[in-house]
Structure formats: structure tokens, C-alpha cells
């Protein structure tokens, strides 16, 4: 049986989206990793599975998987893509996504840009999580990074020049540092002004991506905590820019940016190892 999918991206951070709201398709971690392979599969940074919602007020349960088949609690760019997919499917501009990180309200604006309420960041060391009780604003690592969780763990390094460090070299070493028991997404940020920063992110289980929505949220949160930027900040990444607002009233982080469907297709699950 051939399984339909949508290939989507948010600023070049690309996803394979499969709808399992009616029927399960045997998508094991090994099969997901094989499908995410860019040479032998469809190819993507993350694999997204839609399931029926099981919490009141939610429209769909969304599961996010990294390219290596491991599961992630949240993915900002993929959340925008799912909200866009739901809008194009039933015409509703507003939706609520159930994720392992909680309920994420989302809405599609008149210009087509999608906003997701990513919720409040977790800033305590246990909640990131970190392996030991340390100050999340100043981690005991070379480069003095700050940590926050946006449903998945992030560490942000602030650089004078973003070209001073190669994420492909430093990223995998930092992702697996013993301080991060669940590994971590590693962001490298350069502050451009009080309202803008440049960011590159090494994503755990996927590598360097063109954009990272939750990484952009975490970078702004950590920069605000250090007094480096305002609560609304433009985050420029290799694939484009997001607008991030960390609301003072309720502590929630809003992420706004585009979502694009590249193509749709089908695949034969039996062609990939289970």
C-alpha cells in the first residue's frame, strides 16, 4: 500500500508530513530514519506524524522525529507547517496542536504568515534538562552559553562574529556534552541590534539546518535574559528570518514566519527497513 505524504519547509528547514489520523502506517524509528535519508529516502530534517488529538481543545496530535529517528517534543518550523496544512485542508485559520510539549495554538494571518504560540520557556536546570544544578543563564562550558527549553533542550552561544565558529565542527561535540543528558540543540548567535540577531543552529539528531524555529525562540529568550535584545526580535538564519516575541504578560513565546508546501507524493513503506 502506498502512503501519501507532504514535503514542506519553513525557511528551508524541511519536513516529511504523514497523516495517521485515520490509519497507522507502521512508522518505526528505523523506517523514519530511512525515509529521512537524503540519498536513499525522501529526505528531510524532521519527520512529522499527525495523529488524532486526545486532549480537549486540540485539533490534532503532532509527533516530531529527528532525521535519526529519535523523537523530539517540539519543532517550531514544523508546527507552522502543520498549521498551514490544516488551514489549506479545512479553511480554518486557527488551530490548536497537541504536542508532547503541550498545546500550541496557531493561526494563519491574512498575509499567509503563520504564528505559533510556543508556550513559556522552561528555565530551571531540571526542566531543560541539565545533568547537574547550574545557573542556566551561564552554563559551565567554554564560551559561556545560556540554556532554555522550548519543549526541547537548547544552549545558545553568543559570538562577536558568527563566522568565528563552525557549527559543523563544534555542534556535534556540544550536542553530546555530558551536561545535556538528552543531548541538546546548539545555537550560535550574533547580536546585530536591539531588535535583530543572526543565528545558526546545530540540531540534535539532524545536524546543521537552514533554520530552527524553537532554536530562534530559545535564542531570543536567552538574549532577553542577558539584556542583549528587546522582547520582539528578528532572527536571521541561513534560510530566512523569523519574528520572535517573548510576551511579558504571560511569558509565552510567539513565533511568526512562512510555511511552504514543496510537493506531495507517496511512498512504499515496505521499501524501507522497519
Give binding residues for substrate as ranges. 13, 46, 66, 76-77, 152, 185, 203-204, 213-214
**Contact criterion met (CB below 8 Å) for 58 and 103:** yes
Cα separation, 130 vs 112, whole angstroms: 38
Active-site pick, 75, 81, 217, 233: 75
- Residue ranges for the known binding site are 13, 46, 66, 76-77, 152, 185, 203-204, 213-214
Active-site pick, 44, 54, 81, 212: 212
**Residue 233 annotated to the active site:** no
| Nearest Cα residue to 212 out of 6, 5, 15, 7 | 15
Within 13 Å and on the Cβ side, how many CA atoms surround 131?
11
**Residue 217 annotated to the active site:** no
- Give the three cell numbers for residue 190: 550574533
Helix (H), strand (E) at residue 18: strand 13-19
CB atoms within 10 A of CB 232: 16
CA R_g for the chain: 18
Cα separation, 69 vs 83, whole angstroms: 23
Active site residues: 75, 212
Amino acid at each position: 500500500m502506498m502512503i501519501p505524504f507532504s514535503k514542506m519547509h519553513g525557511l528551508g528547514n524541511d519536513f516529511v508530513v504523514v497523516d495517521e489520523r485515520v490509519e497507522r502506517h507502521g512508522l518505526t524509528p528505523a523506517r523514519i530514519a530511512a525515509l529521512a535519508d537524503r540519498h536513499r529516502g525522501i529526505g528531510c530534517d524532521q519527520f512529522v506524524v499527525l495523529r488524532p488529538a486526545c486532549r480537549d481543545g486540540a485539533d490534532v496530535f503532532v509527533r516530531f522525529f529527528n532525521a535519526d529517528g529519535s523523537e523530539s517534543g517540539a519543532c517550531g518550523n514544523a508546527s507552522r507547517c502543520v498549521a498551514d496544512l490544516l488551514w489549506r485542508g479545512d479553511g480554518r485559520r486557527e488551530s490548536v496542536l497537541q504536542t508532547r510539549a503541550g498545546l500550541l495554538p496557531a493561526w494563519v494571518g491574512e498575509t499567509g504568515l503563520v504564528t505559533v504560540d510556543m508556550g513559556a520557556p522552561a528555565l530551571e536546570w531540571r526542566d531543560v534538562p541539565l545533568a547537574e544544578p547550574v545557573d542556566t543563564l551561564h552554563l559551565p562550558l567554554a564560551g559561556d552559553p545560556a540554556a532554555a527549553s522550548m519543549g526541547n533542550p537548547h544552549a545558545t552561544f553568543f559570538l562577536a562574529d558568527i563566522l568565528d565558529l563552525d557549527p559543523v565542527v563544534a555542534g556535534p561535540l556540544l550536542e553530546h556534552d555530558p551536561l545535556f543528558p538528552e543531548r541538546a540543540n546548539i545555537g550560535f548567535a550574533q547580536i546585530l541590534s536591539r531588535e535583530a540577531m543572526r543565528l545558526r543552529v546545530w540540531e540534535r539528531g539532524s545536524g546543521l539546518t537552514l533554520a530552527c524555529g524553537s532554536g530562534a525562540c530559545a535564542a531570543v529568550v536567552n538574549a532577553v535574559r542577558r539584556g542583549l535584545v528587546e522582547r520582539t526580535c528578528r532572527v536571521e538564519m541561513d534560510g530566512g528570518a523569523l519574528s520572535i516575541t517573548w510576551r511579558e504578560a504571560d511569558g509565552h513565546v510567539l513565533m511568526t514566519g512562512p510555511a511552504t508546501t514543496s510537493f506531495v507524493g507517496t511512498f512504499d513503506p515496505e521499501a524501507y527497513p522497519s
